[in-house]
Amino acid sequence: MHRYRTHNCGELRDGQIGQTVKLSGWINSVRDHGGILFIDLRDHYGLTQIVIDPAQPFYKGVEHWRVESTICFVGKVVARIPEAVNPKLATGAIEVVAEEMEVLGESLVIPFQVAKDEDCNEALRLEYRFLDLRRQSLHKNIVLRSKVIARMRELMTAKGFMEIQTPILTSSSPEGARDYLVPSRIHPGKFYALPQAPQQFKQLLMTSGFDRYFQIAPCFRDEDARADRSPGEFYQLDMEMAFATQDDVFAVNEEVLHAIFSEFSDKMIDNTPFVRIPFREAIEKYGSDKPDLRNPLIMQDATELFRDCDFKAFAGVVASGGAVKTIAAKGCAGQPRKFFDDMIKFAQSVGSKGLGYLRWIDGEVQSPIAKFLSAETLNQLKELGGVGDGDVMFFIADQKKEATEIGGAVRTELGKRLELIDANVFKFCWIVDFPMYELDDEGKVAFSHNPFSMPQGGMDTLLNKDPLDILAFQYDIVCNGTELSSGAVRNHSPELMIKAFDIAGYGKSVVESKFPALYRAFQYGAPPHAGIAPGVDRIIMLLADQPNIREVIAFPMNQKAQDLLMGAPGNVEPNQLRDLHLQVKLPKKAEQPTESPA
């Protein structure tokens, strides 16, 4: 017989009745039924009920056991009496009558419940993550994560992609977020950087003659946490294809994502090909480049209808160059006054001065602003929104950028409050045709997305078009309002690269110094190539139906980028700093560390 177990705790069935078995696991719960003890023994695979008779010599030791202690039992498998069968449990038809017991590891009093998924302070959960991971819901999420990643590898390999690992220690480069820097011991004063993404390496692999690359890539960015973004590090299904177009990338990703979401969820999935929405259309209709298409509401522009109206609040905004956005909501005119008051408060909370609305009830228009609008304008609004009795139109008036952003937030909130969002579907879309450039806060032309992208129209566009009108072969894949990934057809021409950076205010010397490997490689026959990198953590978060990304990561940091389990970041010894030729100089308000030499 094996030292610790002959079977796992989720394995025994009717076919093992009468066998003597050995099980090891954690004490999930203890119940005393008239002196006879019933213990649920738990391991990675499930639960088995252990029965301990008072006549057993180890029975008296039970009072010293605590839940979550690790115990090994030897006993005989018996059938449960009919009224004790538990159909909700895989092993619910049997139990094990204990004949021997060995304590493998005693537990202290646990800081929170493990057997029940009760709410618990997150800081405490992260500090005792090894216990938290024993809880059924979190344990299940990590198992799901493992299975999804394994399936991703199968799918990518079957499509001819090779898994290649790229460096973790690399050079710092301007890619949008802050780098995590690693000081070099043998090169004083110089630093490595942890990669924000394997972007340059995967492009170099394409220039090296590999045709299709992928990896489950760790990425490191020193940025603030959000519900759908972990601070510090994250993983992505990174991929790149040589001699590929945008459509080639879409085809591969649609097949992979459709397979993953179909196999690991019971929700309805969009058929492929996924909807494609140009960036500017997405902003105009949804106020966002990551729209949740489960929400049927859209924004429309009503600016011209208010240009000469008597409602001065809106007419004044239009005269100043602003815009009026409207959202038509079907069947909600009968909502109580509080609903509309709460929506006004919400709009104000996201930066709006207010929220106008018109209600069509029994053939009449009811609204404080209706008296300022002519019958013709009301009819035009009705036609614009396709509304009728029982419907409502909401209005946001502000400068165009602000009106669009506020309208997008109002659209999302209306979708939630009116319960328009179906929780049982996954709606995918591609956002395409991103602008290559935008104006920064100082009014200068800057890259809007990815500087490595191919401009639509190539060199001719860069030479002859207004930079703000240039579109790029850049794209995002979005699911239920969550951006899963950005990607692009790459700019593989050194001449195009120099010109593209020149428009953004960077000379040739900047390209040569900041991206030396890519610039040099592109001068030796680079193939056209394209890629993308769907976020693994966000995919698992959607599949597990979790609102917070920390619920699908085994050992996450908290929102302040702290690892409460391991105590990171933390102080280091003076000799470690000495070896790295570093000296710590803290802000005045920060706690002073132990002095360390330069």
Q: HSE, CB side, 13 Å, CA atoms: give it for residue 523.
A: 8
At 598 the pLDDT is 37
Of 364 and 130, more confident = 130
At 176 the pLDDT is 66
Beta strands in 316-459 (DSSP E): 323-329, 356-361, 364-366, 392-398, 425-426, 428-432, 437-439, 445-447
Is the per-residue pLDDT at 87 higher than 90?
Answer: yes
For 432-454, how does the pLDDT look when each residue is reduced to its tens digit (9 = 90+)? 999 999 999 899 999 998 888 99
Q: Provide the token pair at 207.
A: 């220039």
**Cis ω before 569 (30° cut-off from 0):** yes
Domains of the chain as residue ranges with CATH: 14-105 (2.40.50.140), 295-421 (3.30.1360.30)
At 590 the pLDDT is 59
Is the per-residue pLDDT at 591 higher than 60?
Answer: no
pLDDT above 70 as % of the chain: 98
At 370 the pLDDT is 87
Is the per-residue pLDDT at 597 higher than 50?
Answer: no
Angle between helices 536-543 and 136-158 (to 10 degrees): 120
Nearest to 429 by CA among 572, 289, 252, 283: 289
For 171-212, how does the pLDDT look when each residue is reduced to its tens digit (9 = 90+)? 987 666 889 999 999 999 999 999 999 999 999 999 999 999
137 to each of 76, 121, 129, 143, how far by Cα in Å?
30, 16, 13, 10
Q: For the whole model, what pTM was predicted?
A: 0.92
> Between β-strands 392-398 and 232-242, what pairing exists: parallel, antiparallel or unpaired?
unpaired
For 314-363, how does the pLDDT look when each residue is reduced to its tens digit (9 = 90+)? 999 999 999 999 999 999 999 999 999 999 999 999 999 999 999 999 88
Is the per-residue pLDDT at 488 higher than 70?
Answer: yes
pLDDT category, 133, cuts 50, 70, 90? very high
